[in-house]
Amino acid sequence: MKELYDIARHELIRSGKILIISHRKPDADTLGAAIALRIWLRKMGKDVTLACTDKPSNSFGFLPYLNEYVTDFDLKKLDVIVVVDSGASYMTNFQLKYPNIFDYGIPVINIDHHASNEHYGTVNIVDPVAASVTLMLHRIFNYWKVEIDCEMALCLLAGIYNDTGSFMHSNTSEEVYEVAADLMNRGAKIGAMNSSLFRNRPISTLRLWGRALENVHVTEKNVALSVVREEDCVKIGAKPEQLSGVIDYINMVPGVNYAVLLNEDRRGNVKGSFRTKNDDVDLSKIAEDFGGGGHPKASGFCIQGKLDEQVCYKIVSEDLSKKSLDF
């Protein structure tokens, strides 16, 4: 891995214009990693652009430089592209606007921690065991002997805090606590991110979560399943993306093999989210069957369709019956 660190650093040092891409519907890990890199590279005198197809949520307002994110750029003017926290190139969503973005002759540094990573980069720094990409960056910065300042520490801690579920998920290792302590010693404050990421939900979100939880039932295959349709969101006055986080509560049902949340978005798609507490279940393999991916214990996918169409019954054909969706 250190050889890859050296190659990546060489690419960044030799480059003048650098694009850092966060995945669509960005979370604190992809944003924190991108911004931490941006801060360091700007100190090096580099021309750095932050890009994401979706505007970061206001819940990440405690992070610096969010207003610098753009949705357009000129590939011809770039020396290198860095993609953080994207297990597959399509997760950036930029391939729709720039079909050849990862096959344009520009070096691509892919830094990620998803087991299903497709290694689409020129340099692929992938560690599926790492709790977050921001945790990986802490290692990388230390190896590069980069001085992590207060702002960088905040960004890195935010990503770790997000991807460990505020230190409650099973990926909260000894290293996670050690790195978190180091970042707090460097000035990162956990209070603001705790309030923004896990203690701030509008009434519409709570009502939508209520619908998702009301719909939970355990199938014959011992899977906790909930389905939320587009009309549920319309009736409540909420957006489908407000369901983010409720899958972790569905996964609290004791004794189930894993939890599944299926919901319709506003673009004619069905999104599937998987969670498990079991070590002998690899959800990334299930998600891959539907063009998705992720981690063994947390994965997802997105396909075209409606929840009342046959294609959606195929989603759960292995572990859930068609009858299980009829409610």
Sole residue written with tokens 């939900």? 201
Same domain, 171 and 58: yes
Q: What percent of the chain has pLDDT over 90?
A: 59
Q: Which of 189, 158, 176 is nearest to 57 (CA)?
A: 158
pLDDT tens digits, one per residue of 88-118? 888 899 988 888 898 888 999 999 999 888 8
Same domain, 73 and 179: yes
Sole residue written with tokens 């520009």? 106
The rounded distance, in Å, linking the Cα atoms of 134 and 136 is 5
More confident residue, 311 or 184: 184
Give backbone dihedrals phi and psi of 234, rounded to 5 degrees, phi first.
Answer: -65, -45
- Bridge partners (DSSP) listed for residue 275: 259, 298
| Domain membership of residue 265 as a residue range | 203-325
Query: End of a domain among 179, 198, 217?
Result: 198
The rounded distance, in Å, linking the Cα atoms of 5 and 14 is 14
Same domain, 8 and 129: yes
Are 30 and 91 in contact by the 8 Å Cβ rule? The answer is no
Q: What is the DSSP letter of 70?
A: B
Query: End of a domain among 198, 220, 240?
Result: 198
Same domain, 256 and 235: yes
pLDDT tens digits, one per residue of 56-81? 988 899 999 999 999 999 999 999 99
Task: Determine the distance from the C-alpha atom of residue 198 to the mean position of all C-alpha atoms in its chain, rounded to a whole number.
Answer: 16
pTM of the model: 0.81
Paired sense of beta strands 269-275 and 298-304, if any: antiparallel
